[in-house]
A and B are shown apart, each in its own frame.
Chain A
Amino acid sequence: MRTLVAVGDFLIFCGRTLGAVFRRPWQVREFVQQAWFLSSVSIMPAALVSIPFGAVIALQLGSLVRQLGAQSFTGAASVLAVVREAGPIVTALIIAGAGGSAICADLGARKIREELDAMRVLGIDPVHRLVVPRVLASMLVAVLLNGVVSVVGVSGGYFFNVIMQGGTPGSYLASFQALGQLPDLISGELKALVFGLVAALVATYLGMNAKGGPKGVGDAVNQSVVITFMLLFALNFVLTAVYFQVVPQKGS
């Protein structure tokens, strides 16, 4: 019952946030600051996670593909795996784990110090002033992050395939188009956009409803990370399933 109430409360919060997106004045300054802050905490971890991701795919496929004599398709597999799946997943992990937790901790601390109440009393809606810029910044950064992860992941795969396993650079690059196609990248970016939205909404909601002193903030951050992880992985599955239904695949 309590969970249901919380879910309902969260949906109302989402509605209010959506309503506040179009209300003037737009908080451009806060948006830029938040986007800068989010990218500064997420770019390094995203890059460092995606290099081994691309490498692992190259390693897994490398020996198998060689036995089948399909070495020239390593590049195709790498692109497919990184752009379609690894990109959005790594983006989700980083946005929820690094960005979301930072947002949640920030708002939670403001909440327990009564800063949010003070803001409301000064006639300023924290949803409009703080939540909206954070949600928009998180969406933007997630989309950009997905691009970073794709590039770094594919480069990592290239490095391992060509330098470590003795693959041919030409065939790695040439096979990019064999299985993958442009809609793969677009769907990856759309997923990232949705992940950024959901992660920021959950983080801001839990942060703004933290209670019970400093421990409450810790609990809220913890919940925020766990809940966004679960939500994003579930969403990823749904979006992938929809994508396969909507967009015809190569070779089918």
Chain B
Amino acid sequence: MGVEVRVEGLTKSFGRTPVWSDVSLTLPAGEISVLLGPSGTGKSVFLKTLVGLLRPDRGSIWIEGRDLPALPERELYEVRKLFGVLFQDGALFGSMDIYDNVAFPLREHTRKTEAEVRAIVAEKLDMVGLTGAERKLPGEISGGMRKRAGLARALVLDPQIVLFDEPDSGLDPVRTAYLNQLIVDLNQQLDATFLIVTHDINTARTVPDNIGLIYHGHLAMFGPREMLLSSTEPVVRQFLNAQRVGPIGMSEEKDADELAAEAASGQRLAALPPIPLQLRPSDDGPRRAERIPGQWCAANGVTPPPGSFRPVAVEERV
């Protein structure tokens, strides 16, 4: 039914280079969250820390009453069975074909017969639309297929938490749209907690229930989608609207002089664009974590930008 992940005061550095510090957030059970941030802000590092591949310098990650960074290696492997992770390039085992890749976790962790394994693998491959590609090797298929195969493998043990490391990197817009739809549909079917790490704004605006933004070594903001999309906080606003005017510069952060020059030149942040409708499951059925459009804005007395929550063109729905 999804598991809540509570991160408290997490700090990580490589040697003397700090990555981010004092990150605290709660991924609500069963909801889709997106973690955004400019390139090189350590989003992938955060994801790897979350599954215990990297140890943080300080802080805790609470999952089902267990603090991940404090666990000994052996127990860590147990807790990791709750996770399914989609790596950037799928991280498929190059020496095995797609079928064996997806069957691998089942063969290692369960005592299922080959017939049961075949049934489960077929089901998961069907879920990601890869039926018929079982006997192909990872080197023989496209990047998008590798990602979907990686996703099928991540889902095979029925994880409670699914992490996506840049699911949209290296994919064309159409495939990205398909993958986003797949993510929403999977969340509806599995009720697992999802965390997507990305810098694709379109994904961030339409897919998640919650958005977080990492910037300049700390978590700038984390909260419901509508809260961030209607936020006037400069960093959040600049990033979610992909503008050059604002505190984020080409190399991480603009200095005071540049900001002063920007203010003097009279450049202003453009008006907030309308908040789009959230992507719905393709069968139009309910999703447990789904909220009524505009609910957060209404509850918090925020006026959404004009034109928000209006069903726009058909291309929203793939």
Contact = CB atoms under 8 A, between A and B. Distances in A.
Interface size range of chain A in the complex: 10 to 19
A214 to B, nearest CB: 13
Interface size range of chain B in the complex: 20 to 34
A115 B78 CA distance: 19
B313 to A, nearest CB: 37
Given A122-B104, A122-B108, A124-B108, A115 B83 contact: no
Contacts of A125: 73, 77
A217 B153 CA distance: 26
Contact of A118 (B78, B81, B87, B157): B87
Interface in A103-153: 109-110, 113-115, 117-125, 129
Given A115-B91, A115-B94, A118-B85, A123 B53 contact: no
B81 A123 contact: yes
B88 interface: yes
Contacts of B109: 122-124
A117 B91 contact: yes
A129 B93 CA distance: 13
A110 B87 CA distance: 13
B105 interface: yes
A113 B80 contact: no
B142 to A, nearest CB: 16
A118 B105 CA distance: 11
A72 B104 CA distance: 62
B94 A113 contact: yes
B48 interface: yes
B93 A120 contact: no
B105 A115 contact: no
B77 A117 contact: no
Given A115-B91, A122-B153, 20 more contacts: A113-B91, A114-B89, A115-B92, A118-B85, A118-B91, A118-B150, A119-B93, A120-B77, A120-B80, A121-B83, A121-B85, A122-B80, A122-B104, A122-B105, A122-B109, A123-B78, A123-B109, A124-B105, A125-B73, A129-B108
* Shortest 3 CB-CB contacts between residues of A and residues of B: A118-B91, A114-B91, A121-B85
Interface of A: 109-110, 113-115, 117-125, 129
Interface of B: 48, 51, 53, 73, 77-78, 80-81, 83-85, 87-89, 91-94, 104-105, 108-109, 150, 153, 157
